[in-house]
Amino acid sequence: MIEIKARGIIKIAETTYKLKNYKYYHYPPKVPKHIDIEVTNICNLRCIMCPSDKHKRKRSFMEFELYTKIIDELDQLGIKSVWLQVLGEPLIHKDIIRMVRYAKEKRGIGRLGFSTNCNFLTPEISRELIESRVDRLIFAIDAATESTYNLIRVGGNYHETVKNIETFFQIRKKLNISEPSVRLQFIVMQQNKNEIDDFRDYWQNKIGERDQIAFKPCDNWAATVENFILLEQKQMNVSFEAWKSRMGEINGRNKKVSITYRTPCHGFLFTGGSILSNGDFTVCGLDIEGEMKLGNISENSIHELWNGRIIHHIREKHMSNKVDEFNLCKNCSRTYRSLSI
């Protein structure tokens, strides 16, 4: 009986969600709001929650000439946000400081940033980043002890990472520059969930006023991340079949039934895309193999691809409840919503 009721409510929830977000889905912006640029797909670490070392694409660094072509168009389009990463560690690109400076010279580009594991965040690089006026950085640590760090961020050096970050804060303070804002990131997983308080306690008095300590759930990267890493939270489940089997699950405290329903992508597909290190423009920042690429920036403009036939077809399928026709989308946690009844 619960399952029959749940199915009816799911249908209502799906319809209500689409109506509520009608403008968002039916009238996507003619210009993307955000673009990821993968300056490299190479990384020095093999983190257990990241598919960076698992993809089959050719390892490469984006050529500076291709990068400037992309930035020049984004400048003309007036992009609000640019992130210099999809996979890979940006600081190992020999031109990363030059890339940041080039983008920051463009008035049409909004906020610029990237995430780093901080293993290459030397005092010299820290000073250059601060002086470049990059807007935001994510320092990815995910642990409060060396043993947990070594378990999660395989190949890294915990004490060197902590030292590099502390030195960065010291240099920024000495230069009396408020930017970039920094987010100290802790991706919560089975392996580190007991270190949340220790992580907060260690860093809370070391960060600046505009910085933050952020705890976030582990993304399933469209089912490329192993189940044993993810916490038992509904938004991290990798299988819709598993969701359907739990539709009648009851919360013992408030006796409410948890219902999970499917929606069109509420992320990249309607707001922005990703340009891979070889110039392929894909609709999704989780598309680590470029399976859903729209074309290549060497041959087409970003504006053409964003408003072209291929992406329109994908959006239509999402709006018609045919998400499962795309391998990348069918197991992605970003095509689910949940509610309690």
Cα–Cα distance, 57 to 180 (Å, whole number)? 32
pLDDT, mean of residues 158-175: 98
Cα–Cα nearest to 136, from 179, 165, 178: 179
DSSP reduced 3-state for 321: coil
pLDDT at position 242:
38
Query: What pLDDT, in 10s, does the model give residues 125-138?
Result: 999 999 999 999 99
Is pLDDT above 60 for 73? Answer: yes
pLDDT at position 72:
98
Q: How confident is the model at residue 299 (pLDDT cuts 50, 70, 90)?
A: very high
Give the residue with greater pLDDT, 309 vs 259.
309
> Is residue 260 within 8 Å of residue 243, measured between CB atoms?
yes
Cα–Cα distance, 159 to 157 (Å, whole number)? 6
pLDDT, mean of residues 172-176: 96
Total-model pTM: 0.84
DSSP reduced 3-state for 180: coil
Give the residue with greater pLDDT, 142 vs 250.
142
Block residue for tokens 């891979």: 276
pLDDT at position 231:
52
Q: What is the largest CA-CA distance in the chain?
A: 65
DSSP reduced 3-state for 336: strand
pLDDT at position 228:
52
Distances (CA, A) of 92 to 74, 116, 139, 182, 295: 24, 10, 15, 19, 26
pLDDT, mean of residues 224-242: 46
pLDDT at position 224:
67
pLDDT at position 241:
39
DSSP H helices in the chain: 2-20, 22-26, 64-77, 96-104, 123-132, 146-152, 158-175, 196-203, 240-245, 268-271, 302-306, 309-319, 327-330
Cα–Cα nearest to 277, from 103, 101, 57: 57
Compute the mean pLDDT over every residue in the chain, rounded to the nearest whole number. 84
> Is residue 100 within 8 Å of residue 149, measured between CB atoms?
no
pLDDT at position 253:
36
Query: What pLDDT, in 10s, does the model give residues 196-216?
Result: 999 999 999 999 999 999 998
pLDDT at position 99:
98
Cα–Cα distance, 286 to 334 (Å, whole number)? 10
Q: How confident is the model at residue 255 (pLDDT cuts 50, 70, 90)?
A: very low
Query: What pLDDT, in 10s, does the model give residues 329-339?
Result: 887 777 766 55
Cα–Cα distance, 191 to 133 (Å, whole number)? 35
Q: Using the 8-state DSSP alphabet, how is residue 303 labeled?
A: H
DSSP string, 269-295: HHHEEEE-TTSEEES-TT-TT-TTEEE
Lowest mean pLDDT among 112-121, 204-213, 231-240, 307-316: 231-240
Is pLDDT above 90 for 91? Answer: yes
C-alpha 225 chain-centroid distance = 14
Q: How confident is the model at residue 297 (pLDDT cuts 50, 70, 90)?
A: very high
Burial bucket for residue 69 (CB in 10 Å: 0-12, 13-18, 19+): middle
Q: Using the 8-state DSSP alphabet, how is residue 95 labeled?
A: T
Share of the chain above pLDDT 90, in %: 60
